[in-house]
Structure 1
Amino acid sequence: MTSSVKDLVSEQEWKTRVDLAACYRAVAMYGWDDLVFTHISARIPGPDHHFLINPYGMMFEEVTASSLVKVDLQGNKVMESEYDINPAGFIIHSAVHEFREDAKCVMHLHTPAGIAVSATENGLLPLSQQSLFALSSLSYHNYEGVALNEDEKSRLVADLGTTNFMILRNHGLLTCAETIADAFIYMYLLECACQIQLKAQSTGQNLVVIPEQILAGIQAQAKQVTRSAGGTLAWPGILRKLDRTNPGYNN
């Protein structure tokens, strides 16, 4: 598809397309992508429950605003596209979008650090400031195989509840938020926390765990730091960096 898509959609949808394409490229820029697998989805503003997701087979660094595929909650294309989507990937995303009205953007990644932490019995530990932000709103979902079973959706959203960070056991990481920018910042914090934990554990030394009383008070701080300013503050800089290093996402 070409940039003529811009002429076929609303101004709000085009902005969502640009931000989502940028998000895919930012994931690639930070080395969090998994070839053509995993997904980031975003709801299009308006009364219709329509969503944008990556064209299956396209590398994250190649995604453009025009190439994103528009689908409904069942994963059916609602706008002509030469691309298909990954049905396994959309099971997870459609579940969250359907049951969480506030989850306008859902990110799911298969980073080595995230999968490694997901495979440990104790999961994410309070070892860093980054981990505290994630722990303030963190849930877990047990592995049930490749996500092709519609029945898993109800269990996944029950586990997610009202949290914004999720560790999918033996599988990877998930974040959701009102905006694409905030979902990205949440993933940045969660991924950093996982990387820091693995590096600390690899030293073989005894770990200094952050006290429970500090963990208990972090939620209010987390709201102030991540929700009030996080995405809004950092996202423009990420876009400027993409404009310098990998332009074209807004085509």
Structure 2
Amino acid sequence: MLASVSKMMSHGFRSSKQDFMFGPWKVTSAKNHIMKSKDVERLGEEISMPCLPEMLFGDNVLRIQHADGYGIEFNAIDALKRVNNMDDAVKVACAQEWQESRADSEHSKEVVRPYDWTYTTDYRGTLLGEELQMKVTETSERIDMEKLKARENIMFFDEVLLFEDELHDHGVSKISVKIRVMPTSFFLLMRFFLRVDGVLIRINDTRLYHEAGKDYLLREFSTRENKIAELKHVPSGVYADPNEIAQYLTLKLTEYEKLELPETQPQSDQEETIQ
């Protein structure tokens, strides 16, 4: 059996966990209830952040793990650890701009804090493995997006929300990760989406792709961002839709990496194509 699903009721919330086998790879998506307040407080102290996202799913995870133990996973806590809570000069300037546009808001003075209140993160996943771990190197190879557009049977799909905050009803900060597995490959997209009403829109994307039989994964990271004032030519109706607004945002940064699999693999592990 290629996929298994288990669900349970926990504290009034519906939890779920799905596993899917792709050759020697096990794809796991787990969804649980929002993190309890006492755990949120403990985490805030641990990572030195005075406030954490109002909807934090600390137990949610999307994991891709090889039978030999190594792999990569995407979780909310590690994503928050990549938030810059030390140097907030640019963020404060943005917050002041936001304050001016929301001077009548009772919460407007709360945003200038010694941490990034937008929760912007450049998180690209957490490498797994103790004795064996994938090696990250720069690469000139690119994910073939045209190939991904081809109609191919989707054998497994899921999306996992890691955290979300509505910025006192004046925008949104959200990160989620979704994966689809085809007969000969899998493709993952983790997207951080930020919209501060009247100020800016920012998208950080991490794409991960693996083709059966290859001894590596491709990972691409990009940042797109514009101030709202620069998007006057764009219908405001698409501001809230990350999939729509992304095409209008200015590309600020791209990084391309190859995640090389450890060399000590049994030959049979190369036979990944699902029959």
Fold-level match, TM-score > 0.5? no
More strand by share: 2
Greater relative contact order (CA < 8 Å, ≥ 6 in sequence): 1
Q: TM-score, normalised by structure 2?
A: 0.28
